[in-house]
Amino acid sequence: MQLSGKHILITRPQPENQVSCERFQQWGANTLPLPMMKIAALTDQEAYIQSQIFDLDLYDKVIFISKNAVRHGVEWIEDCWPMLPVGITWIGIGKGTSHFLNELGTDLGIQALTMDQSGHTSEELLNQACMHNVTGQKILIMAGEGGRSKLEKSLIERGAQVNHLPLYSRNKIDYVAEQVAEAESCEVILITSGEGLENLVDTLSQHDTNWFNKLIITPSQRVTDIALQLGWKNVVNANGADDDSLYATLTQL
């Protein structure tokens, strides 16, 4: 195994964290889970979410920001739409999200655009031909609470009517000193979002710990730039947050 003996810190949220740990173990690495946030359904907004999902047939495009958006969004669609409305373009941002959307949406008949058509990031999606002429189109973005607004703002500027539907919250996890110290032996840190990276830096500062010389693998140039600005010395962009992209980058180093 090319990763044999490597100690890798996995920071993505559960349940994906466990899946990633198992995959990297199969590839020969020693893994340690340290999720940088916890995902929770917005149970206090269920009536609003349901009302928005019932209007699904009004949209030309539905965009899922993450696997968590897929997980919660498809569950809502299954509950509200026994038969899927036609004429919708389904989009998952990133390879992992697109595959997950196709996997969970198979029984409903959802077929997401390929990664070549949607890209790894919001910026890459905005550069695709299918997002250029959106004047008058209605677009639903399924995502978490808060987060980046670039995609929504850009589509509105292009003339689309955009609704951002939050389905879950992202909550920072507080770790005790022993848990952070346990991760000290890891040589490589896998980061899958800018928010996760910022939470990691905050965690390290709370425990007066400096990991800025460790190798950190990021999912995009945007997150790479954030890492460098925060003080990381050794940063590599994997151009994708999915396990295959992260693995390919590690084996090439």
Model pLDDT for residues 84-137, shown as the tens digit of each residue: 999 999 999 988 899 999 999 988 989 988 766 667 788 889 998 889 999 999
Tokens of 98: 């697109």
Tokens of 84: 């899927």
Q: Where in the chain is the domain with CATH 3.40.50.10090?
A: 7-37+174-252, 41-170
Q: What is the pLDDT of residue 246?
A: 95
Task: Give the C-alpha separation, 137 to 2, whole Å.
Answer: 47
Closest C-alpha among 17, 44, 46 to residue 32: 17
Q: What is the pLDDT of residue 160?
A: 97
Task: Give the C-alpha separation, 189 to 132, whole Å.
Answer: 36
Task: Give the C-alpha separation, 41 to 182, whole Å.
Answer: 30
Whole-model pTM: value is: 0.88
- Tens of pLDDT, residue by residue over 54-66, are 999 999 999 999 9
CA angle 198, 165, 72 (to 5 degrees): 80
CB-neighbour burial class of residue 132 (10 A; exposed 0-12, middle 13-18, buried 19+):
exposed
Query: Dihedral of CA 196/202/204/210: which sign?
Result: positive
Q: What is the pLDDT of residue 1?
A: 54
CB 220 within 8 A of CB 121: yes
- Tens of pLDDT, residue by residue over 69-97, are 999 999 999 999 989 999 999 999 988 89
- Under CATH, which architecture does the 41-170 domain have? 3-Layer(aba) Sandwich (3.40)
β-bridge partners, 64:
92, 142
Q: What is the pLDDT of residue 11?
A: 98
Q: Which CATH class is domain 7-37+174-252?
A: alpha beta
SS3 207: coil
